[in-house]
Amino acid sequence: MVTNTSGKKKTAVARATVRDGEGRVRINSQPVELVEPEQARLKMLEPFRIAGEELRDDVDIDVTVEGGGFSGQADATRTAIARGIVQHLGDAELRDAYMNFDRTLLVNDVRQSEPKKWGGPGARARYQKSYR
């Protein structure tokens, strides 16, 4: 059985394919162990720490992630993996465990950065005005 899921964070989009296997987790066709920085790797593997590491030996996960920076990509990947595992196993208890730990494991973070506007250097900041 194959399950396809996705996750989003800022401008990063991750698409995960979960299938029965022997524990391979690949991010953009490379093993998750090679992902740098380490902080991002730990974030991506969070769903396995909550579900239990023995679960990892039962599934193969392929993730394609694009857009955003390394932190946004890590969060998007984390959401895609967690959703994929829950859908693949159909486990309501695991879903509740994820929700109790952190809601963004299963629900996309919809916040986006505000666009820059005219009259200033950023979204809200304005150029200084001098009267003399």
Q: Which of the four pLDDT bands, split at 50, 70 and 90, describes residue 81?
A: very high
pLDDT of 57: 82
Q: Is residue 42 part of a domain?
A: yes
pLDDT of 6: 93
Lowest model confidence (mean pLDDT) among 48-52, 58-62, 68-72? 48-52
pLDDT at 80 over 90: yes
Q: Is residue 63 part of a domain?
A: yes
How far apart are the C-alpha atoms of 30 and 32, rounded to whole Å?
6
As given in the structure block, the two tokens for residue 85 are 């595992």
Q: Is residue 132 part of a domain?
A: no
Task: Provide the 3-class DSSP secondary structure of residue 109.
Answer: strand
pLDDT at 32 over 80: yes
Q: Which of the four pLDDT bands, split at 50, 70 and 90, describes residue 1?
A: confident
- Taking only the tens place, the pLDDT of each residue in 94-127 is 899 988 888 888 998 889 999 999 999 999 999 9
As given in the structure block, the two tokens for residue 118 are 């005219």
Q: Is residue 60 part of a domain?
A: yes
Which residues constitute the domain of residue 35? 2-104
Which CATH number is 28's domain given? 3.30.230.10
